[in-house]
Structure formats: C-alpha cells, structure tokens
Structure 1
Amino acid sequence: MTSTVDVGDAELAYVESGTGSPVIWLHGSGPGATGMSNFGGNLPAFEDHRNIGVDLPGWGRSPRPATDEPLIFHAAERVCRAMTALGIERAHLVGNSYGGAVAMRIAMAHPDRVDRVVLMAPGGVLPTDAPPWPVGLEHLFAYMASEKPSRDEMAQFVRLMVYNEALATDALIDERYESSLRAHPELPIPPNFGDLTPDLGLISAPTLLVWGREDQTVPLTWATRILHGIPNAELRVLPHCRHWVQYERAPEFNAIVREFLLGGAAAAAREG
C-alpha cells in the first residue's frame, strides 16, 4: 500500500515493507518509473530490512516540484526530510540511474545519515565528451519531450533497458506506460539534473557500483570517473545485462547487495 510523508513543501509517496536496519530504495528517471516499478521484485529478498521505496519528486505519485534547483539536489534534500519524518536517523541507500545520483548527493551532503551505498549505473557524473547521448538516454529524452507519448514509444524504451528482450513483457510495458501518463514530466530536455563530479571525494560511505556490461543508457565506460572518484568504491559488472540490473539479473543482484549490506555500517568500516 502506498503511503505519503510530509517533506515540508510537498508530500512524497512511498511503500514500506520488512523490519530491521533501514534501506532507502531510489528509482531512476525513466518514464513511468516509481519505487515499486524499479524494485518491487527485489524487496521480498530484503524482508529482514526496513525497506522504504520512494517515489521521487515528479515521478509516480509524488508531485512535480516547482523549482529551478537541479533535480538531484532537490530530490536528495526531500529524501532526507522523509527519513527524518519517518524516524530514520541513518540508512543504507540503494539507487539506480537518477536514483543513484540522488543517493550520491545524500552521501555527499549528509554523510552522518548514510551507512552503505549501492549504485546501479548512476547518473550525475558525465564524461567530458557528452553529448552525444547514448541511445537509451536519447529515447528517454525523446519520450519526455513528447506531448502525447505512445505505448509503442514506451515499448521501444523498455526494450533498450534489458539485454534479454523477452523480459520486456506486455505487462511491464503497460504498467510503465500507464504510470508515465499519470505523472508525465514537464522538464527542459535534457533536464537540469545537476553535476556531482566535483564532490565525489566527499562520499565516505562504503560504496558498491553494479553495472550491466551492455548498458546502453549509462554505459560502463562512464563508471571510471565514479569508481576512482569515490574513495571507498568497488565495482561489480554483470555480463549480458543492460541498464535495469536489479530487474534483469534479480537473483544475482539480490545476493550481491545483501552480502554488501551485511558488511556493516560505514562507521565500522572506517574504524576497521
């Protein structure tokens, strides 16, 4: 069941499950994305954690903010406010794409609130030669720019997110398409997400990067800056996999992330 939490200037929608140490799940910026569309299939493997699957501002059932602030920075502060309102002092952060960038921003600005960080092909850090954009981002921006996006456009986008196109089921396409029509972003193209590159060194939390080798949206070649910029980062690459690692390779993803989160809090890692 979807609930809402007051973050001062708006409400964020979220879904909660499980009990234990908190994990905040942060979705990507693709059309139709929500906390549950990105992570609903993973959460049953984490029932020994208190899972908070957030709809970031402007996606899912969370309203679009009226702000000129870069989206990553704006969303990060609202997630921190939501944590406070929900009585969560510290949490693990798991984010893919845009949600990964939001997780990085929280870890930069509020390191005392973060235990461990898992990033799946995160945004917010671009190579010096971008644009041109990878084909997945081209389709994402084209969908955002369309006044009346079609189901066929959504189908094309979803198929680019997975290496095994059999996983781009009609049910998944329909779910994402219907969600995109409820909260179609009204944003400049490309949106003003913000640049996290100068502050990567501020992330003190142990950080796991998980990447699909065949990612066509945030390519593996983009990982280098992040891997070398975050002091305590490691990288796992999954072959035959594109952008939706948590969906396309769910069993491996769940095992990798569970092992990493059980490694302990950031403070313990620093003391060791």
Structure 2
Amino acid sequence: MTTMVDVGDAELACTEFGAGSPVLWLHGSGPGATGMSNFGANLPAFGDYRNVVVDLPGWGRSPRPASDEPLIFHAAERVCRAMTALGIERAHLVGNSYGGGVAMRIAVAHPERVDRLVLMAPGGVLPADAPPWPVGLEHLFAYMAAEKPSRDAMAQFVRLMVYDESLATDALVDERYESSLLAHPELPIPPNFGDLTPDLARIAAPTLLLWGREDQTVPLTWAPTILRGIPDAELWVLPHCRHWVQYERAPEFNHIVREFLQGGAAAATSEG
C-alpha cells in the first residue's frame, strides 16, 4: 500500500509491505529512480519485516521543496519526519548509492533512530581527486542536464548499471524513462549532494557495505574510505556485478542482508 506522508514542507510517497521490525529502503539518485523500481523485487524475501519503501524528495511521486541544503542532508531530515509520522521510532536502513548517503546521514544526525545499516555503494563520500567522474556518473549527470532526455539515453544509462546487460530489459528502461519525465525542480549539475566524509567516525550502527566489483558509477576503489571510517563496518564484494547489487544479484543480496539484519555477521570473511 502506498501513502503520501506529511513531512512538514512536502509529502513523501511511502509503500509498505509486510509486518515485523521496521526496515526503511532508500533508493539511488539515477534518472527515473523510485523506491519500488529499486527494491520491489527484493521485498518478498523480507515479508517478516515492516518494509517502508520511500520515494525520496524530488524522485517518483515525492515533490522536492525549494532548499539550499545539500540533497542528502535535506532528504535525511524528511525521512526522519516520515518515520515519526508512521509511528516508527527506530529502524534498519537499507540504502543504495544516494540512498546510502541518506542512510549514513540519519545515522550521524539521529543515531537513536537506527538499528543496522546496509549500504550498497553509498554516495556522499567522494575521493579528493573527483572529478573526473566515473562513466556511470557522467551519464547520470548528462541525462539530468538534457533539456529533453531520450529513451535511448535512458537505455544507455541502465546498461551501465548492470554487468549482465540482458537485465537491462525494455520494460525496465520504459519504467525508468517514464518516471524520469515527472516534473520536479531542476538541479545544478553536478548536484550538491553533501559531504559525509568528516562524520563517518560518528556512525555507531553496525554497518554492512555491499559493492559490485565492476561498479562503474561508485567504483570499488572508493570503498576503503567508508570501510575505514565507520567503526563497525564490514564489506562484501560481489563479482560480475555493477551498481545495482540488489537487482543484479538479488538472491545473494537477500540472503546476505537477512543474515545481517538478524544480528549475525554477513559472512565468515569480509570479501566474497
């Protein structure tokens, strides 16, 4: 069931599935991204949790109020307001890319609201020498900057997100393309996401990092800064996988994440 949740200056579209301990699912910033397009296929494996799948401000059906705040900081506060409105005091947070940055910001600013963090190639922590940007981010920014983006441009972007390009189906491309055409205020290119690097040591929640070895958007070479920065973090690397770990390697993702949320280590070793 999808509802529009009042967060003060706007509303967030939130889809709920299952019952149990709450898990919030926070999507990436790619064109056409929505909570359900990122995570809908994973939810059946988590039916014993109360899953809340969020459209972050400016994506999907959630409007983006005018704000000078960095996107990650702005979204984190609205997600916390949505938690309050939904009667959720504390939850596990699962976020990919931009959504991973939002999850980290919540863990920094509101640690009492976070149980465990699952972060798939999270944003918000850039290397000192960026730009130049990885090819996936180049395509993301080019799409966002286009006056009238094309379906072909969306298809190119989606193919960059997966190692097995057969997963970039026409249906997926069409879904993302139609969603990307929804009217939202334009962003500067590159957007001001915000920098979480100075705050990583303040994240107290147990944290699982998941990364596709062949990620061309947030490359694996960016992972050590986060792994070293968060005191209680472990890293799982999946081969033959790019940026959409939860989509491209769904069975492994579901298994690893369930084990972690239940309180165990994700694996005997930190790299698989």
1:72 maps to what in 2?
72
2-side partners of 1:82 and 1:109: how far apart? 15
- Following TM superposition, where does structure 1 have runs of at least 4 consecutive aligned residues deviating by more than 6 angstroms? none
1:14 maps to what in 2?
14
1-side partners of 2:147 and 2:103: how far apart? 30
Q: Is the 8 A contact 2:111 2:204 kept in 1?
A: yes
The secondary structure found in structure 1 opposite 2:80 is helix
Post-superposition shift, 1:240? Answer: 0.1
Q: Does 1:93 align with 2:90?
A: no
1-side partners of 2:185 and 2:149: how far apart? 11
Which structure 2 residues correspond to residues 103-122 of structure 1 after superposition, within 5 A? 103-122=103-122
Q: Does 1:214 align with 2:214?
A: yes
The secondary structure found in structure 2 opposite 1:104 is helix
Q: Is the 8 A contact 1:246 1:253 kept in 2?
A: yes
1-side partners of 2:184 and 2:220: how far apart? 28
Please give the per-residue CA displacement for 1:215-237, whole angstroms capped at 9, x wherever unaligned: 00000000010000000000000
Q: With structure 2 as the length reference, what TM-score do the two structures score? A: 0.96
1:156 maps to what in 2?
156
1-side partners of 2:147 and 2:107: how far apart? 35
User: Given residue 39 of structure 1, which amino acid in structure 2 is its aligned partner?
Assistant: F
1:242 maps to what in 2?
242
The secondary structure found in structure 1 opposite 2:217 is coil
Post-superposition shift, 1:182? Answer: 1.2
Post-superposition shift, 1:2? Answer: 2.1
Please give the per-residue CA displacement for 1:160-197, whole angstroms capped at 9, x wherever unaligned: 00000000000000000000001455100000000000
Q: Is the 8 A contact 1:59 1:185 kept in 2?
A: no
The secondary structure found in structure 1 opposite 2:181 is helix
* Percent identical residues: 87
The secondary structure found in structure 1 opposite 2:13 is strand
2-side partners of 1:260 and 1:94: how far apart? 11
Q: Is the 8 A contact 2:207 2:233 kept in 1?
A: yes
Q: Is the 8 A contact 2:63 2:184 kept in 1?
A: no
Q: Is the 8 A contact 1:27 1:96 kept in 2?
A: yes
1:137 maps to what in 2?
137
Q: Is the 8 A contact 1:214 1:220 kept in 2?
A: yes
Q: Over aligned residue pairs, what C-alpha RMSD do you find?
A: 0.8
1-side partners of 2:14 and 2:65: how far apart? 16
Q: Any unmatched runs of 5+ in structure 2?
A: 265-272
2-side partners of 1:134 and 1:227: how far apart? 20
Post-superposition shift, 1:64? Answer: 1.8
Which structure 2 residues correspond to residues 226-265 of structure 1 after superposition, within 5 A? 226-263=226-263
Q: How many residues end up aligned between the 2 structures?
A: 264
The secondary structure found in structure 2 opposite 1:62 is coil
User: Given residue 88 of structure 2, which amino acid in structure 1 is its aligned partner?
Assistant: I
1-side partners of 2:185 and 2:31: how far apart? 8
The secondary structure found in structure 2 opposite 1:241 is coil
Post-superposition shift, 1:65? Answer: 1.9
Please give the per-residue CA displacement for 1:133-179, whole angstroms capped at 9, x wherever unaligned: 00000000000000100000000000000000000000000000000
Q: Any unmatched runs of 5+ in structure 1?
A: 265-272
